[in-house]
Structure formats: structure tokens, C-alpha cells
Structure 1
Amino acid sequence: MTRLNAVREGQGPVVVLSHALGCDLHMWDDVAPLLAASHTVIRYDHRNHGGSERVPGPMTMQMLAQDAADLIAQEAGGQPVHFVGLSMGGMTAQALAVLRPELLASVVIANSSAHYPDQAPWQARVATVRAQGVAAVADGAVARWLTPEFVATPEGAAAAGRLRETLLRNDADSYIAACEGVAAIDFRESNRAIRTPTLVIAGARDEATPPAMSEQIAQAISGARLVTVDAAHISAVERPGEFARALRDFLVSV
């Protein structure tokens, strides 16, 4: 079992927050307190991220889903949880909803994808990191994560700085393994088997996982709802209030 670093706060039904590639549980710093007023919020670092265990070798979304299942079994006492994943966390959610549906009361898949038909950008990113390290892709990643208008504000500039610092703490081998795991996803058919109540959140200005990718996920999952947030890729950082409102509105209806 992979040792995962996790933080627990609040009281009530359990919500688990799962972060994006290269980030850590602090990606949720502005969302978690808004949810903790009415829910128990558990946020965690994926393997090879933040304070969690470093596991050498390949990394797949199925591995991350098993990690999440183990965490839920430990932290939620067998009660189904509301699982919220953004980007790579959303891919973890898609895998988990098929692997262990009995652990889930609902699923939220934000700023994510079910499949990448074009592998070239991932191959280029991996090659750059292998040759030059994570620092060589950090500025480009943060530029995709947040809109220029947000970064131009003091709040946005500080958020961009924190995200960049977190990304730079990733070692090259772990980051490459995560990139390869993300690039390899294909949930197009398995998503059709999901019966867990599902909310899909798209970023209207998301260039990393454009709204069409969220629409594809929502169309494949029976009964899924789709909400769009006016943000780029890391919408939970750029629009935490709007993101939390979408979550709360969904959770009270489940």
C-alpha cells in the first residue's frame, strides 16, 4: 500500500479532493475551507507528489485509483465518499468510478480528459524534462494553468508563484512517469459503465483540457451534469468560490 500524505478538516459527509499533475494538496487551499463548513474534507498528495511516498517505475491512473481506494478505506470507515478530482485527479476519478464504485457517493471530474488523440505534446514534454529537467517546462505549464488576466492581479501572481514552486519540487523521473501515465489514458468506453452520480466541470478558457473534452466525458456517463467555470486549467485555484458553489449545488442534490 502506498503511503499518502493527507489533510483532514471539517465535519459531515466526506469529500475527497484529488489534485492535478505536478501539484499537491495545497492546490485546494482556497476550496477546502469553503467545503469544510458542511463536510469532512480530505485532500491528499498523489504518489510521487508532495509529502507522499516516492514509488519508482511506471505510474498509471489505475494505480492512482487504487491508492485513492486505499485512502478512502482508511479515512472514511467504509462509508461512500464524494470524490472530486481535477485534471490528473479527474482521471483518477474516472478510473476509480469503474474500479471501486461502492466507495463513491458521487464523482466530480474537473478540467480533465478521457483520452488524448494527439500524443505529440506529451512526447515533447517528456523529452524536454528528460533532457533539461522540470524547470524547463514550468513556465509553460503555469501559463496553461491560469489565465493571463488572473496572473496579472496580485492574488493571481501569488497563486502562479506557489504553483510554480510546487511543480519545481517534482523530480524529473517521477514527473515523466506521471506524464506518460496521463498521456496513455483511454476512458472513452469505460466511462459508459459509470453509474455513480457525476458532475463534470469544464474551464471555459482551458487550453490544456478544452471544454470539448469535458463535454465528451459528460456525454459518455449516464446522467452526468456539465458545468462551465470561467477559468483556465486549474479552475479551483483561479475561481475557488465559483468552483465550490458548483460542488455544493451538486452535493446537496445527490
Structure 2
Amino acid sequence: MVSTPSAALPAGSRLLRLGGTVTHARCEGSGPVCVLSGGLGCAWFDWDAVAGALLPRRTVVRFDRPGYGLSAPGAEAPTLAAEAERLRQLLDALGLAGPCVLVGHSLAGFHVEAFARLHPARTAAVVLVDGSTEPSARARPLPALRAVAARTAAGAARGLAVPYLLGPPGRRLVVRLATVRGRDPAPPGLVRRCYRTGRALRAALLENTCYLDQAEQLRLLRARLPLTAPVVVLAAADGGRSRRAGRRLAGQARLAAELGGVLRLVEPAGHLLMLDQPRAVVDAVLEF
């Protein structure tokens, strides 16, 4: 564990060096282990309601990928293999060797599925929370150049104080648009601390530019390694009847079918399903 002044971290948090990156993590509770991993732009506190309901019966692990929350920026552009390895190193650093339930929201669904395929003995189940779907996944050209462009854009924005001025309002806007409640439950002080620095913007730009690459990497992994763990797909349904909403739900149904999993519609809920309907995530985890 990386030493840090206690005043610098919220109670219960710790810093771990994973793959050379200082990573913020929380491990609380007792009993069977579950890992909660958020999508692009999310921080550990987006799981507060889910974690709070699980803690009486589960060991709950939350963490921030490089650049998000209280984690340091990563030196390399993200890849699927690196994110699956980050999960393994996280569990090892916490001394959690037994099978765990892996919960992945949105993009993190790629990561937890990859971990489950690479480490079946350490996976009890996979819960995908409105997981990303890319039926036409493909690797894009010039990944190194795209990563440099993302870092450059983030640096320019930071030089103009864009994250400092617009980071917290931008976060609140995203939550408003991606939930049916339309309200961000995160403590304002934590939002300012995590979204004003420019780290989150840099991380989001890097993950976005590597998104299709990771989808293609997962497609290749699916062809090579089976998924033996049970899967639950929680699909957010906000009650909309638009063509876009129909496509999203159809994508979740295809994902569940491809993985041999169980599909559950969670309504009413936006893409940030764990904020709208935390009980649906809790119930899925407690099945295993």
C-alpha cells in the first residue's frame, strides 16, 4: 500500500500502486466479495447506495481507474488486457483470492467480462449494469497518435481552466441526462475535488478514444476463451419509446443472449442505473 496522509483521503479509503499507477480503492464489509466498477467518467462514490445496502452481507470493493476519482493519471492508454490485469492486481493487493462477483457498469462491462474469461476460478458471477455493446467492434488506426491527441486536448483544456470551471457542472449535467431522477446524489465537495483538476477529463478522453479498440479486443477474447460464470444483464429502461431507446434495449438483449446470461429490465432507470435503482444491482449480487 502507498503511504499517504490520512487527511488526504476519505475514511476507509486507501491508495494502492497497481501497474505503476497510484490507485484509490475502498474495501469494506465482510463475507463473499463483490467488485463494483463504474463506466466512463464515474467515481467510486457513484456506488454509495449499492455498497451501503451490500455491506451487511458482502465484502465490497470499489476503486477508481486511472485519472478518475482520487486515482493518479495513467501513463499508458487503456487496453482491455490492462484493465483486466488491474482488477487482478487490485484483488491481490487486498488479499482477496477467492471467487468474487464482478459488477461492471457501461464500459466497465468489457473489463469485468474479460477478467471472468481470463480468471474463471476467481469469478463467481458477472453482473453487467447497462453494459456497453458494440456489434460492429473494430480496432481504429493510429492508437498511439489518438492517445497523444487526447492528452493534448486535455492539457489545452486544463490550461484554459475548463475542468476547474466546468468540471463539476458538467458532471451534474451528465447525471441529470443519464438518470430519471435527474439529481446528482454525490457530495458536492467530492465532486469538486474529483472533477476540477482535469484528471477526469483526460481519463475520459483517453477511454473514449480507445473504446472501439477495447470492444474489438473483447470480441477476439470471446472467440478464444469461454465464459463459464453465470451472467446477469441489467438493462435500463426509462420508459421512452424512441427508436434510440429501442435500439439500446435490443442491444442489451443481444448481449445477454451472446453471453448465455439472464436479461432483466430495470424500470424506470437511466444509463446510470445504479443511481436510479440501486436495489436492482444489490439483488443481482446477492443471488450469488
CA–CA distance in structure 2, aligned partners of residues 115 and 8 of structure 1: 32
Match of 2:51 in 1: 32
Equivalences, count: 237
1:36-115 → structure 2 map (5 Å cutoff): 36-115=55-134
1:225–1:161: structure 2 CA closer, same or farther, 3 Å change rule? farther
1:101–1:12: structure 2 CA closer, same or farther, 3 Å change rule? same
Task: Confirm or deny that 1:200 pairs with 2:233.
Answer: yes
Secondary structure at the counterpart of residue 108 of structure 1: strand
Structure 1 or 2, whichever has the larger Rg, is 2
Shift, 1:247, TM fit: 2.6
1:98-247 → structure 2 map (5 Å cutoff): 98-115=117-134, 117=136, 135=166, 138=171, 141-147=174-180, 150-151=181-182, 156-159=183-186, 165=192, 166-171=194-199, 172-184=201-213, 185-186=215-216, 187-188=218-219, 190-191=221-222, 193-205=226-238, 210-222=248-260, 224-230=261-267, 231-247=269-285
Q: Give unmatched runs, 5+ long, in structure 2.
A: 1-17, 139-145
CA–CA distance in structure 2, aligned partners of residues 67 and 42 of structure 1: 13
CA–CA distance in structure 1, aligned partners of residues 75 and 252 of structure 2: 31
Cα RMSD for the two superposed structures: 3.2
Q: Quick check: 2:28–2:61 contact (8 Å CA) kept in 1?
A: yes
Structure 1 length-normalised TM: 0.79
1:213–1:164: structure 2 CA closer, same or farther, 3 Å change rule? farther
CA–CA distance in structure 1, aligned partners of residues 231 and 220 of structure 2: 16
Bigger mean CA offset, 44-53 vs 109-118: 109-118
CA–CA distance in structure 1, aligned partners of residues 174 and 271 of structure 2: 10
Secondary structure at the counterpart of residue 282 of structure 2: helix
Task: Name the % identity.
Answer: 24
Shift, 1:22, TM fit: 0.9
Structure 2 length-normalised TM: 0.71
Match of 1:13 in 2: 32
Shift, 1:76, TM fit: 4.1
Q: Quick check: 1:27–1:236 contact (8 Å CA) kept in 2?
A: yes
Q: Quick check: 2:172–2:184 contact (8 Å CA) kept in 1?
A: no
- Deviation string 1:138-171 (CA, Å, 9 cap, x unpaired) is 5663344212xx12xxxx3545978975555553
Q: Quick check: 1:108–1:200 contact (8 Å CA) kept in 2?
A: yes
Secondary structure at the counterpart of residue 270 of structure 2: coil
